Structure 1
């Protein structure tokens, strides 16, 4: 399975949400990282045929997805940021309903529902009404419905919103296993969601992909930019006015500082191994000066 985007552009009046993207995906997990408003959801809605591009095209194995219509959507599983459901349905009934919509025979839908309830940890809650679920449980149900038809292309928009750390780990393991012979695009602003499972990461800002590559390639591009050192508390405001600060840890009147700089920022500063979170801060974080007066 191969998805290609050629000069893909989406405009809403005078606003260009997605700008001339040229990207391709084959198998595995792709992580789409960016702040809210970067254009991630618009891109995913186009990939799911919910929005038509203003310019450009999206091809699935060389064919235009909008011309393929229902044939393409049979390959597709999608979890939007906000998915609709009937509040009076139980979790099991909701998944069976989704199975019917996706054309699964009742026996297949029932078997698949049982498998997915186990996979997302909702077996005990199969008979609970949707309106009675916590936010995290609703999100897990949404992940299950996206996987109901064993899609070859799975598109997930902020899938871990509302999940606790244990649920996030369960989700990452599930997606990693599921993606073995499939294509998964996962949009998020939570770095840990994709750091360990994505083989390719796209950093998106203002409708453009500003950096792409493997997690290792992206972190290696940050070499000689991440520093740690100890400073006096009174120095933090000056540093925040000049640099992007990744982390501070206060101990008495001394502060352990981690920041981004193109050169050694202070006497005693040592270069440290960059993380994907450092790259996220570099491309999307507050500019130096916006954190002035931090301490």
Structure 2
């Protein structure tokens, strides 16, 4: 299975949401990392044939996906940021309903639903109404509906948004398991969602692919160094205004800062190994005192 994106662009009036993207994907997990508004959802909607590109082509095993029509959609599973459901439906009713919309025969659908609720850990809640589910349980139902047709291509848009840490870990483990025999594209602005499960990470900003590669390769793409140092509490404001601060910790003898800078910021600063969160701040954040920083 191969998805090849060639010179892909999408414009809305004068605004360019995706700008001349060229990438190729095969089996494995691809993590699309960027802040909200970077163009991630627009790209995913084009990959799901919900939006037509302004220019460029998306190929699936050499065929244009828009020309393939239903042949392509049979290969596809999609979890949008928000998916609709009837609140009075139980989990079982909802999944059987979606299966019917996907054209899955009833006998096959019943077997598939039974398998999937076990895989996503919802077998004990199968008769619960959708309106009574927690956010994490709804996301797990979302994964199950995306997997009903046993897709070769699984596209997940901000799948862990709003989940607590335990649900997020559970979700990552599930995605890693599902990716063994399929292509998974997962978009997020949460670094930990993809740091350990993505075979390839894409840094996406203003509709453009800035860097791609393994976690280590993306980290090595950052040209500046990461420093740790202690400063007095009264000095924190100065450093926040002058440097990009990826972390700070208040301790008895002062405040420990993690600073991204080409030059050594202070005499007692120690150069340390960079992390993916440092890279995220470097490419997508402003100085740490600004409000729009997301780490």
Asked whether the 8 Å contact 1:223–1:273 carries over to 2, the reply is no
Asked whether the 8 Å contact 1:2–1:27 carries over to 2, the reply is yes
1:271 has 2:264 as partner: no
SS in 2 for 1:195: coil
The offset of 1:87, in angstroms, is 1.4
The offset of 1:45, in angstroms, is 0.1
Asked whether the 8 Å contact 1:4–1:24 carries over to 2, the reply is yes
Asked whether the 8 Å contact 2:245–2:287 carries over to 1, the reply is no
Task: State the partner residue of 2:87.
Answer: 87
- Separation in structure 2 between the aligned mates of residue 176 and residue 137 of structure 1, nearest angstrom: 18
- Stretch deviating more after TM superposition (279-288 or 19-28): 279-288
What is the 5 A alignment of 1:96-107? 96-107=96-107
User: For residues 201-236 of structure 1, what are the alpha-carbon distances to aligned partners after superposition, in whole Å with 9 as ceiling and x for unaligned?
Assistant: 001010001111110111123375111011111111
User: For residues 137-173 of structure 1, what are the alpha-carbon distances to aligned partners after superposition, in whole Å with 9 as ceiling and x for unaligned?
Assistant: 1111111111111100000000011222222122111
1:119 has 2:128 as partner: no
User: For residues 53-72 of structure 1, what are the alpha-carbon distances to aligned partners after superposition, in whole Å with 9 as ceiling and x for unaligned?
Assistant: 00111111111000000000
The offset of 1:289, in angstroms, is 5.7
Q: RMSD in angstroms over aligned alpha carbons?
A: 1.3
Asked whether the 8 Å contact 2:219–2:274 carries over to 1, the reply is yes
- Separation in structure 1 between the aligned mates of residue 258 and residue 201 of structure 2, nearest angstrom: 24
Asked whether the 8 Å contact 2:246–2:278 carries over to 1, the reply is yes
Task: State the partner residue of 2:24.
Answer: 24
- Separation in structure 2 between the aligned mates of residue 266 and residue 141 of structure 1, nearest angstrom: 51
User: For residues 247-272 of structure 1, what are the alpha-carbon distances to aligned partners after superposition, in whole Å with 9 as ceiling and x for unaligned?
Assistant: 11111351111010011111011111
Asked whether the 8 Å contact 2:215–2:276 carries over to 1, the reply is yes
The offset of 1:288, in angstroms, is 5.9
Asked whether the 8 Å contact 2:240–2:287 carries over to 1, the reply is no
- Separation in structure 1 between the aligned mates of residue 187 and residue 68 of structure 2, nearest angstrom: 24
Task: State the partner residue of 2:182.
Answer: 182
- Separation in structure 2 between the aligned mates of residue 223 and residue 53 of structure 1, nearest angstrom: 33
Name the TM-score, length of structure 1 as normaliser: 0.95
* Runs of 4+ with >6 A deviation: none
The offset of 1:129, in angstroms, is 1.1
SS in 2 for 1:83: coil
Asked whether the 8 Å contact 2:230–2:256 carries over to 1, the reply is yes
Which runs of 5 or more structure 2 residues have no equivalent in the other structure?
none
- Separation in structure 2 between the aligned mates of residue 172 and residue 290 of structure 1, nearest angstrom: 30
Asked whether the 8 Å contact 2:5–2:59 carries over to 1, the reply is yes
Task: State the partner residue of 1:160.
Answer: 160
- Separation in structure 1 between the aligned mates of residue 131 and residue 288 of structure 2, nearest angstrom: 44
Which runs of 5 or more structure 1 residues have no equivalent in the other structure?
none
Task: State the partner residue of 2:66.
Answer: 66
- Separation in structure 1 between the aligned mates of residue 120 and residue 225 of structure 2, nearest angstrom: 39
Asked whether the 8 Å contact 1:233–1:253 carries over to 2, the reply is no
Name the TM-score, length of structure 2 as normaliser: 0.95
- Stretch deviating more after TM superposition (68-77 or 126-135): 126-135
- Separation in structure 2 between the aligned mates of residue 288 and residue 101 of structure 1, nearest angstrom: 47
- Separation in structure 1 between the aligned mates of residue 6 and residue 76 of structure 2, nearest angstrom: 20
